[in-house]
Structure 1
Amino acid sequence: MRDRLPDAPVSVGFVELAEPSITEALAEAMGEHGPRAVVVPLMLGTGGHVRSDIPGFIDAARSAVPGAHVDYAAHLGPHPRLLDAVEARLHAALGGWAEPETTVVFVGRGALVPEANADHVHLARLLLERGEWADVEPAFIQVTRPSLPTALDRAYAAGARRIVVMGHWLFPGMLSTWTWKQADGWAAAHADAEVRVADVIGPCAELADVVVERYLEVLPEAPPHGSPTYLAGLWLRNRDVLVLGGGRVAERRVPRLLEAGARLRLVSPTLTPALRALAEEGRFEWIPRAFLDSDLGDAWYVLAATNDPTANRAASDIAESHHRFCVRADDARAGTAWTPATADAHGLTVAVIGNRDPRLSRAVRDAVVGLLGS
């Protein structure tokens, strides 16, 4: 994070078991660098620590530092970048196994907050939908059920004999130790099944990216140097443009691309009614299936706007390898171009692009258009 935020001091605090506490870390940081801070909870789920403990520590720090202003960012949640990291750990544990012959037992912390446990089950389903696993069984290491041994029993009863267990933790510790012990104990009692344990997410680039994103989301103003992008107008008339996805994002962007005169190909199994009407009018070529690498063709510009982060990432990667610019609707920083907030007024196109604050960009755009009108 310090590499990604060279102008922002970065400190660490702990909820429990280690020092310094969040209150101590906050008070020290604000005493040294000024009375403004952002707290990003390094928590995957929205349990009691996120909902009550950390806010309590923040309140204590506010009381200790005169004039303190502390913004509390969102927890990490089911971010596509973190799911990428989870899948990378699972694939590393596979060895020579293939996904379709492997069942994943995905272990969460377990919480007294039902919504946090439901979020973990939701993540397990996302892993199943994103991959080709034989099955993905959710489990919990503490507090709630099913336990890890119970989930292993369920997988075994369903016919699983090759199982990868992964504890959904950011870092190794007691939770990871318990996961290994329980998995090893179960495997010793089931000689006809093979069990491997995947590594935790760990201090990787994907995690740092998500933490930085959460930090930037709560900043009240743009950085002093504005957007990190280089602004340019693209002349797309009679040039090939590829759009992936037929949902609401594509519905907003396609008309502007058509107005720019692009030769547009859209790849998506389905279309919104508005996009379907344009396709039936022959305004663009519709390819009704999922994305293939060969779809890139001669496209000068790519918009990856599917509801599948894996497909968006694949499109962005192949566009990068062919030196084509690609906008990723699900994760702007993972693409190579950003879409500005635009409006036409008095023969001009007003375009505003910031640093991941779309509300501010739209507000500035509307203010400029209003100024032109007056």
Structure 2
Amino acid sequence: MKFFQIKLSLFLCFFVCAILLNSVGIVILQSINNYGITNVSASILEACKDLTIAIVSFFVASLIPHFGYKKSMIIGLTLITLACIAMPLLDSFWMTKLMFVCVGIAFALIKVSVYSTVGIITNSPQEHASLISWLEGTFQIGVVLCYFVFSFFIERGTWLTTYWIIAAISLLTIILLIFTNLDESRIEASIEPKITRDFLHMLGLVKLPIVLVFILSIFIYVFIEQGIQSWLPTFNNSVLHLSDYASVIFASIFALSIATGRIASGFIMKKVYWEKVVIIGLICCAVLILIIMPMAQNISGDSWSYLSILTASLLPLIGFFIAPIYPTLCSSILSSQPAHLQSSMAGLIIIFSALGGTIGSRVVSELFTILGGEVAFYIILVPISLLILLVIPYARLHKKANAS
């Protein structure tokens, strides 16, 4: 297969990042229980990750083409490897925060580079969308395995051992990248010599109506996803009265639902226009919340029950219905940009995804503390409604862009 080695490298980069980025909910629960901190204090971990991603992406997205995609990925993976080695050696909450800062820096470098590399090794919008979909699918596989690997070691009282495994995978990916050839001459020939001009190009993209509606949609989507994913283990533990181990295991259904939903939507969208798939999915999410939250409010006592198990099993199915939104929107906007602007567009995607994740997690944590977990998850209906209202004009703008 053409470009097999570079594609494998991209898959592994996303796989490693997926495990670490989506372990926030698990680490929040472990930090609360092991380091004796509050819910609101623990929510800083989401900010350590996402704000770092946003800040680094803002300043380096336009510089990466000059530096090189392959070099950027290697530097990002090196940061991840060192941070994962330090975690079990310096077992503390401050090290946990530092680890997520390192992961944030690394992911900003890696995601811009990966998304931009896809533009180099694909030759059509269909091929581009297919590879992006596969990469996001790999990302979700990493998310699913994240829950199972962490829960395996949590049950044995050695949850920090997980980081040794991640460090080993990251190191293997670095070695693979070093021995992988990536021809970046096409990008080098098309980029302008002034870095400041590249930076202004990224800012200039925001002025386009289709880009503006897109980044608002991405922001709200990640707000919903991270708001649920980061606090689902804690919701299972404090509201449904499940054990730490069971809370993490049932939370993994959310990631598995997203992975399954993205595979299923890939087939469905061959027959049905993506706008309809996205809107119907969001409506189903709202219906699920309206059905499940009253069940959670009826759970009482200090130990889990049949109703707890049923609620913990059904709530994560929201992931299935929101699954196609992110890769569909990202592929549509990236393939509409020329090759030399794709790194800038990828930078905007990462920035607003990161901001959405940080704010989503923070808002849910505050609501969780003040109003309780049930109310916090009820309020997610608001961004779901807003996203429906944004998808409709975005689809129209996208059709006009394709027509022109």
TM tier, smaller: under 0.3
Larger CA Rg, structure 1 vs 2: 1
| Higher RCO (CA-CA < 8 Å; seq separation 6+) | 2
| Structure with more of its chain in strand, by fraction | 1
| Structure with more of its chain in helix, by fraction | 2
